[in-house]
Amino acid sequence: MSATFIGMPGNFPQNSKKAVQNSQLRFNLRKATHTIRGKRASVVGELPDWQELRAAGKAIKDHTLHHLDRYLLQLEEAVTRAGGTVHWARDAAEANRIVTDLVKATGETEVVKVKSMATQEIELNQALAAHGITAYETDLAELIVQLGDDFPSHILVPAIHRNRSEIREIFLDKMPHVTPDLTDDPPALAEAARLHLRERFLRSKVAISGANFMVAETGTLVVLESEGNGRMCLTLPETLISVVGIEKLLPSWRDLEVFLQLLPRSSTGERMNPYTSMWTGATEGQDFHLVLLDNGRTDVLADEVGRQALRCIRCSACLNVCPVYERAGGHAYGSVYPGPIGAILTPQLRGMSSELDASLPFASSLCGACYEACPVAIDIPEVLVDLRAKAPHAAAERAGMKVAGWILNDHQRLAKAQRAATRVRKLVPKRLPGPLSAWTDTRDIPEIPEESFRDWWERNERA
């Protein structure tokens, strides 16, 4: 059972400090993110109309979000017409209750899962476990995370923080049929996982999935994946329950042409993903239920600046280019959504009452690489800055910034402050006290000059 994010202690600076000191983690992250980054850049570079595609993706998503109510009702109608059942879930508790009841009604106590960050977000596995139902993750990386009793740490590569010898240890420990002669060779590890999962797929009567896209016009759900586990989950079981955030909607079938280009190139750096599965309503021999999850999304939609986060197609391009994510890793963000998108999405979905959530809008140097990489042009730095204005600030910082603002708002006060600094220039210690020690722990401070530019100009030009 993978662990839960609820009540994760600390804040981003503390969490990332630990991560930064772990050189193996730093090495793994650097290697993985730079590899995907390079692949992405080359396949994006192949498309002469990438910026137009990106603008189209943004426009389609914005239009959909603007008319979300209308398109959701259209989707419900289309899915129902095709024999599926649509359920509406306001929050995590409601979604978990709906899914638990649906599974209970089948009489099964085991389910297989694929491709669902939404169910991670609502901590469905824990909710099912509380009712005696065991959920098995089938994505290889999710499986590693689940068997290792760990948290996912990347949107696309949830086990990015693990190396293959760690994975071998986890398999030896947790997979019943694995023998000690298992090597840490990737094909050997993949084969062990395949055997383990095959058995689950063939036994399971219930599957729970997410979806990359939902098409309002046709009621079609779409899953893009690389391993084929998704297709197994979607087709073999007798009952399929899909839990999908309401923002995953697209108006028409035609809109997929944009996103089926944007997503694989941005996420795995491939021209096309290996498996694209689409299903509309219930198919013969299978019950289909769609749980539409709000869980804070309509609140995000109400925010003029922050709502652009709902355009996200979970490609993880922003994580792979983010210098902060590269050093801090995914766990530091304390949420199923790590990296730059997590830093804006999580505090919007959860609010900023916990120390961790309040620290997330500050977990960025505002370098802008995420915005540049985002296939739907989410201006992540803009949202970060907006959230910072809404985040709580420590009293000492508020006081300091107020004084700084007062000095900077008047050039005579600024000149006086500069002259005061000049007078004590020889007395400034090499190690600064208080929060400024964060600067002098690793860097030298610049020398305060004998004279400000302002005074030099005054002396030379006005004399």
The least CB distance from residue 359 to other proteins, in Å, is 8
The least CB distance from residue 27 to other proteins, in Å, is 12
**Alpha-carbon span 187 to 3, nearest angstrom:** 27
Contact 425, 448 (CB under 8 A): yes
The least CB distance from residue 22 to other proteins, in Å, is 11
Rounded to 5 degrees, φ, ψ at 206 are: -130, 135
Contact 318, 341 (CB under 8 A): yes
Q: Which is nearer to other proteins, 230 or 334 (CB)?
A: 334
CA angle 396, 400, 405 (to 5 degrees): 150
Q: Which is nearer to other proteins, 46 or 461 (CB)?
A: 461
The least CB distance from residue 298 to other proteins, in Å, is 24
Q: Which is nearer to other proteins, 190 or 366 (CB)?
A: 366
Give the residues lining the site for other proteins (CB under 8 A): 12-13, 16-17, 20-21, 26, 323-324, 327-328, 361-369, 371-372, 382, 385, 387-391, 393, 397, 401-402, 404-405, 408-411, 414, 418, 421, 435-436, 438-439, 441-446, 448-449, 451-454, 456-458, 461
The least CB distance from residue 423 to other proteins, in Å, is 13
Q: Which is nearer to other proteins, 106 or 452 (CB)?
A: 452
The least CB distance from residue 47 to other proteins, in Å, is 20
The least CB distance from residue 456 to other proteins, in Å, is 6
Q: Which is nearer to other proteins, 179 or 442 (CB)?
A: 442
The least CB distance from residue 317 to other proteins, in Å, is 15
The least CB distance from residue 433 to other proteins, in Å, is 13
- 3-state SS track over the chain: CCCCCCCCCCCHHHHHHHHHHCHHHHHHHHHHHHHHHHHHHHHHHCCCCHHHHHHHHHHHHHHHHHCHHHHHHHHHHHHHHCCCEEEEECCHHHHHHHHHHHHHHHCCCEEEEECCHHHHHCCHHHHHHCCCCEEEECCHHHHHHHHCCCCCCCCCCCCCCCCHHHHHHHHHHHCCCCCCCCCCCHHHHHHHHHHHHHHHHHHCCEEEECCCEEECCCCEEEEEECCCHHHHHHHCCCEEEEEEEHHHEECCHHHHHHHHHHHHHHHCCCCCCCEEEEEECCCCCCEEEEEEECCCHHHHHHCCCHHHHHHCCCCCHHHHHCHHHHHHCCHHHCCCCCHHHHHHHHHHHHCCCCHHHHHHHHCCCCCCHHHHHCCCCCCHHHHHHHHHHHCCCCHHHHHHHHHHHHHHCCHHHHHHHHHHHHHCHHHCCCCCCHHHHHHHCCCCCCCCCCCCHHHHHHHHHCC
Q: Which is nearer to other proteins, 21 or 179 (CB)?
A: 21
The least CB distance from residue 6 to other proteins, in Å, is 24
**Order of strands across the sheet with 275-280?**
249-250, 213-215, 220-225, 275-280
Q: Which is nearer to other proteins, 351 or 449 (CB)?
A: 449
Q: Which is nearer to other proteins, 35 or 165 (CB)?
A: 35
The least CB distance from residue 346 to other proteins, in Å, is 16
Q: Which is nearer to other proteins, 148 or 329 (CB)?
A: 329
Q: Which is nearer to other proteins, 181 or 450 (CB)?
A: 450
Q: Which is nearer to other proteins, 138 or 359 (CB)?
A: 359
